[in-house]
Amino acid sequence: MMRNDCAVLAAARVTARVTTPVLALAAAVLLAACGSVPQERFYSLSNGLGTAAAGAASAAQGAARTTLAAPAYYIEVPAVTVPKQAARNQLVVTTGDGRVDVLEQERWVSPPAAEIGQALSLAITGELGTVDVFRAPVPDKSPVYRISTNVQRFESAPGRYSLIDMVWSVRLAGSPQVLTCRSVAQETVGAGYDELVAGHRRAITRIGADISRAVRALAAGDKPAC
């Protein structure tokens, strides 16, 4: 039963009070059922992530605000791709023995590809003190490092682990040279879906750190390795 249906029943109960006791009783029973309908809960991978990363960068560099205002280079994080089985707004959890459950009441606030992409962008820009300019103009001759990502696995095992397996590549725009790597970040989590989502945030932070090291090395003229 949807929340809108419950609102209709509430109005019906008021009407029933002025008609017959039987209708009033029926409306009361249905409203009690409405009260037991589970409420949907929504989760985000990016909430607080950028703030924490920027705070760490500020503490380490002492000039994060200036760096963000005029970065020496930019990054570009296009859309992330995720496995089809994970590309739904409901949390998809593994329960062992190859079985998965789709949780109708536990949902991402936006599709997982968008959630991962935004969180990864925040992690990298916070780590490097730069700006993600995907679909935005940049000053002439400014270096832009393009980061392509493909999520191979996005696993959620409540009370056990959160796992993100991602293939990613970095290249300087206009350069034919590409560095392609793979990061597998698995985080142990406690019971509850909040813990599960927090584990995914930590996994994204770890992968963002891997990518940031590669970008930093390229920007310094070094030859990065996976």
User: Across all residues in the chain, what is the average pLDDT?
Assistant: 83
The beta strands (E) that lie in 20-134 are given as 41-43, 74-76, 90-96, 99-108
Q: Is residue 225 part of a domain?
A: no
> Does the pLDDT at position 24 exceed 70?
no
> Does the pLDDT at position 68 exceed 90?
no
Average pLDDT over residues 10-30: 50
Calpha distance 45→117 (Å, rounded): 9
pLDDT band per the 50, 70, 90 thresholds, residue 95: confident
> Does the pLDDT at position 56 exceed 50?
no
- What are the residues facing 156 on neighbouring strands? 162
Radius of gyration in angstroms for the set of CA atoms belonging to the chain, rounded to a whole number = 24
Q: Identify whether residues 111 and 127 lie together within a single domain.
A: yes
Q: Identify whether residues 61 and 150 lie together within a single domain.
A: yes
Calpha distance 222→226 (Å, rounded): 13
Q: Is residue 226 part of a domain?
A: no
Q: Identify whether residues 99 and 173 lie together within a single domain.
A: yes
Number of structural domains, the chain? 2
Q: Give the pLDDT score at 38.
A: 72
Tell me, what CATH number does 103's domain have? 3.40.50.10610
Chain mean position to CA 75: 19
The single residue listed with the structure tokens 């490097």 is: 128
Both structure tokens of 166 = 């991602």
Q: Identify whether residues 20 and 56 lie together within a single domain.
A: no
Domain of 145? 41-219
Nearest to 78 by CA among 139, 133, 138: 133
Per the model's pLDDT, the better-predicted residue between 109 and 54 turns out to be 109
pLDDT in tens, 151-191: 999 999 999 999 999 999 999 999 999 999 999 999 999 99
Q: CB neighbours of 42 closer than 8 A, spacing ≥ 6?
A: 107, 108, 109
Q: Identify whether residues 102 and 167 lie together within a single domain.
A: yes
Q: Give the pLDDT score at 28.
A: 54
Q: Identify whether residues 91 and 168 lie together within a single domain.
A: yes
Share of the chain above pLDDT 70, in %: 74
Average pLDDT over residues 118-123: 97
Q: Identify whether residues 23 and 59 lie together within a single domain.
A: no
